[in-house]
Amino acid sequence: MNTIEVVHLRREYKARMGVIRRTTKLVVAVDDISFEVKTGELFGMLGPNGAGKTTTVKMLTTLLLPTRGTARVLGYDVAKQADKIRGRIGFIFGGERGLYWRLSGTDNMRYFASLYHVEPEVSRKRIPFLMELVGLGDRAKEKVEGYSRGMMQRLHIARTLLHDPEVLFLDEPTIGLDPVGAREVRQLIRNLQAEKKTILLTTHYMFEADALCQRVAVINKGNIVALDTPQALKAHVADLSVVEVEVFGVPVEVIERVRSQPFVDTVSVENVDQRQSLHIQTPRGSEAVPDLMNLLSGLRIGKVVVREPTLEDAYVRLVGGEA
Amino acid sequence: MSAEALRNNGRVAWAAFVMTLRMQAPDSFTLFTIVVQPLIVAVLAMWMLVERGASNAIYVVVGSGMTGLWSGLLFLGGNSINWERWTGTLELLVGQPTPVAVIVFGKNLAIVVLSLSGMVVCYALAALIFRQPLSVGQPLLFAGSLVLTVVAFVTFGLVIAPIFLLSPAVGNFQNALEFPIYMLCGFLFPIALLPGWTTPMSYVLGPYWAARALHGTATGGADVSEVLLSWGMMLALSMIYLLISGRLVELMLKRARSDATLRME
């Protein structure tokens, strides 16, 4: 049985430009996506910034009206039957906003418990339990303005669990968290999934999607470019190896030269401080290293590593090296 | 509406009321708007009154206090939805099961109740600093008028809050709306002093009938029928404001969901 059903969903925006001569430009945030999430499934959405992940979540949580297509959550249409959906879902959007900074963590929780019609005797027990669960038990009475970004993120997570929703939409829930905090949140998500909650998770972190999700949709430029299990997605790059080359100050034309080689599948560049890390996908594996060194001659080169592809490499291939 | 829905909405309105009191009471802008500003108005009016040897200081107390009520409603109540948008909480309020209008009602009620403190401070000023004799002429009718004044102001606030979000252009003139309402509603002087063509505008404003009832019962000597007329008008206008605000909030949410303006990025 499907809890979420999305059919040819599209969302356009009108972007306004100019001061004197005002013009509008049509921006397609979500072009045409269709997918379904089964009851109790943990479904992931992966994609670069601006791919349309958050817009999709906002439509599914009834905060945005689709331009075209339909989406149903728990059997109800998100555009026409929003009232029937809202009390049964929970959602968080990454970031520090969306909290009352002058109130304590507990006061924020109390307020949202009232909004979600949680009975006072239930919320009296549930709020301290959730605050402990997200590691804020000892800071619960402090004003939110003194919380770190990670603490605010954890408070968001506690807030969304207040009314024990059947469906959870988690838009980058580990963003801004330290590694330990992020690991705890991932464990929390696993526990929620064990309770058979339906979860739609968007993330930038491939290992997070790999570790948590039963199926992953890779979204790029408003379209789903792949939808499968993490294992099946990794199979997209099973014939390739990844050569990671650490370089300092690599010019764009050199990257383009590497990219144009027949033995190179994709190239992505990760900037780390003063250096760049080139991730080159190639079917030739370590045999490609001498040719790559020739192409990069004259540049200061650091570490060179040849490894098996990961979900991240599959993702890079699917979105065309834009990650 | 079922009994359960009524109970749930009541709880939400109360939660919004308490939350707003806790958020707004320590805020310096709130303090200035609802206490300092009416106090300045009261000091100036008291001086004029003392200079002229007039004796109706209670009129000044009520009028100055009402300026605080209106300023509080205009700047705090009027921005009650916009403020949620600025802080990123509007999406959360829209995405939960209670109608947003219930939350705005609780917030506006808190602001109006908080703004009544301005009237208390003006009373203390007149009594303690200016040593003016202060007594409420018809205390029971005054108390009844005060309750209906709160209703009239809260419902009026329910109309202006969605308008400021629907039309940022109107919001740009927010400051300019402060003094015309003082005058049109007769907070500080009777509207009979204004040109006749402004009178119909006063009649459709709930705060005008509130000022008329409060001034009449505070200074004493108001006909009961006249007070009842003001009460009836406050109730009738409040009902109309509720109907208008219901449609405006619906329109505001539909447009915000369509234009993606629930969140300010």
Predicted confidence at residue B264, as pLDDT, reads 67
Q: Which candidate from A64, A102, A110 shows the least CB-CB separation from B257?
A: A64
Which chain A residues touch B24 with a CB distance below 8 Å? Answer: none
CATH 3.30.70.260 residue ranges of chain A are 237-318
Residues making up chain B, counted from first to last: 265
Type of residue numbered B56: N
Do A98 and B22 count as a contact with CB atoms less than 8 A apart? no
Contact A98 B92 (CB under 8 A): yes
CA-based nearest residue in chain A for residue B88: A98
**CB-based contact B189:B41 (threshold 8 Å):** no
Beta carbons of B98 and A65 less than 8 Å apart: no
Nearest to A86 among B22, B95, B260 (CB): B95
Band the pLDDT of B170: cuts 50, 70, 90.
confident
Instruction: Determine which helix (DSSP H) or strand (DSSP E) holds A32, and give its type and residue range.
Output: strand A23-38
Is the pLDDT assigned to residue B150 strictly greater than 90? yes
Q: Across-strand partners of A201?
A: A44, A170
3-state secondary structure A118-175: CCHHHHHHHHHHHHHHCCCHHHCCCEHHHCCHHHHHHHHHHHHCCCCCCEEEEECCCC
Cβ–Cβ < 8 Å for B157, B92: no
Q: Which helix (H) or strand (E) holds A272?
A: strand A266-272
In chain A, what residues touch B98 (CB-CB under 8 Å)? Answer: 115, 117
Q: Which one of 3.30.497.10, 3.40.50.1000, 3.40.50.300, 3.90.110.10 gives the CATH number of domain A2-234?
A: 3.40.50.300
Contact call for A103 and B22, based on CB within 8 A: yes
Alpha carbons A21 and B173: distance in angstroms, whole number: 24
B6 and A CB contact within 8 Å: no
For residue A8, CA distances in Å to A67, A202, B211 come to 10, 19, 57
**Chain B stretch 218-257, residues whose beta carbon is closer than 8 A to a beta carbon of chain A:** 254, 257
Give pLDDT, residue A174. 86
Chain B contacts of A98, Cβ < 8 Å?
87-89, 91-92
- Name the token pair of B264: 């300010």
pLDDT at A321: 58
Of B185 and B51, which is predicted with more confidence? B185
A14 interaction partners in chain B (CB closer than 8 Å): 259
Size of interface A-B (CB pairs under 8 A): 76
In this prediction, residue A176 carries a pLDDT of 74
Residues of chain A with CATH 3.40.50.300: 2-234
Helix B206-219 × helix B139-166 angle, to 10°: 160
Q: What is the mean pLDDT of residues B76-105?
A: 90
Distance in angstroms (rounded) separating the CA atoms of residues B22 and B12: 15
CB of B53 within 8 Å of a chain A CB? The answer is no
- Return the SS3 of A12: strand
Kind of pairing, strands A241-248 and A275-282? antiparallel
For residue B49, the model assigns a pLDDT of 80
DSSP state of A48: -
Q: Which of A102, A110, A116 comes nearest B97 by C-beta?
A: A116
Identify the bridge partners of residue A169 per DSSP, sorted by sequence position.
Answer: A91, A200
pLDDT at residue number B77: 86
Residues in chain A with CB shorter than 8 Å from the CB of B89 are 97-100
- Average pLDDT over chain B, rounded to an integer: 89
Q: How far is CA A291 from CA A107, A183, A261, A280, in A?
A: 62, 40, 10, 12
pLDDT above 90 covers a percentage of chain B that reads 51
Distance from CA of A107 to the nearest CA of B (A): 8
Can you give the pLDDT at residue A322?
Answer: 52
CA distance A20 to A59: 33
Residues in chain A within 8 Å Cβ distance of B8? 117
Determine the residue of chain B that is closest to A67 in CA distance. B258
Out of B22, B88, B96, closest to residue A86 by CB: B96
How many CA atoms lie within 13 Å of A88's alpha carbon, on the beta-carbon side? 16
Q: What is the pLDDT of residue A36?
A: 95
**Per-residue exposure over A259-279, b if at least 16 CB sit within 10 Å of its own CB, e if not:** eebeebbbbbeeeeeebbbbb
Distance of CA B24 to the CA centre of its chain: 15
Name every chain B residue with its beta carbon within 8 A of the beta carbon of A65.
Answer: 254, 257-258
List chain A pLDDT tens, one digit each, 323 residues: 899 999 999 999 887 777 777 788 888 999 999 999 999 999 999 988 888 999 999 999 999 999 999 999 999 999 999 999 999 999 998 777 889 999 999 999 999 999 999 999 999 999 999 999 888 999 999 999 999 888 898 899 999 999 999 999 999 988 878 888 888 888 889 988 898 899 999 988 888 888 899 999 999 889 998 899 988 888 877 788 889 999 888 888 888 899 888 888 888 888 877 788 888 988 888 888 888 898 888 888 888 988 888 877 887 777 765 54
The alpha-carbon gap from A81 to the nearest alpha carbon of chain B, in Å, equals 12
- Decide if A111 and B15 are in contact by the 8 Å CB cutoff: yes
Q: How far is the alpha carbon of B83 from chain A, nearest alpha carbon, in Å? A: 11
Measure in Å the smallest separation between the Cα of A62 and chain B Cα atoms. Answer: 7
Which amino acid is it at A70? T
Distance from CA of B249 to the nearest CA of A (A): 15
The torsion angles phi and psi of B191, rounded to 5 degrees, stand at -70, -10
Chain A contacts in chain B segment 162-221 (CB below 8 A): none
- The strands making up A266-272's β-sheet, listed across from edge to edge, are A266-272, A275-282, A241-248, A300-307
How far apart are alpha carbons A192 and A166 in whole angstroms?
10
Nearest-by-Cβ selection for A114 from B15, B23, B92: B15
Spatial distance between the Cα atoms of B54 and B68, rounded to a whole number of angstroms = 23
pTM: predicted TM-score of the whole model, two decimal places: 0.85
In angstroms, rounded to a whole number, what is the distance separating the alpha carbons of residues B227 and A295?
A: 92
CATH for A237-318, options being 3.30.70.260, 3.10.129.10, 3.40.190.80, 2.60.120.10: 3.30.70.260
Report pLDDT for B45: 87
DSSP lists the bridge partners of residue A44 as A201, A216
Rounded CA separation B122/B61 (Å): 5
Distance between CA atoms of residues B152 and B108, nearest Å: 11
Handedness of CA A170, A175, A177, A181 (dihedral sign): positive
Residue B71: the pLDDT is 93
Sheet containing A42-46: give its strands across. A89-93, A167-171, A198-203, A42-46, A215-220, A223-228
Contact in structure between A1 and A36 (CB atoms under 8 Å) = no
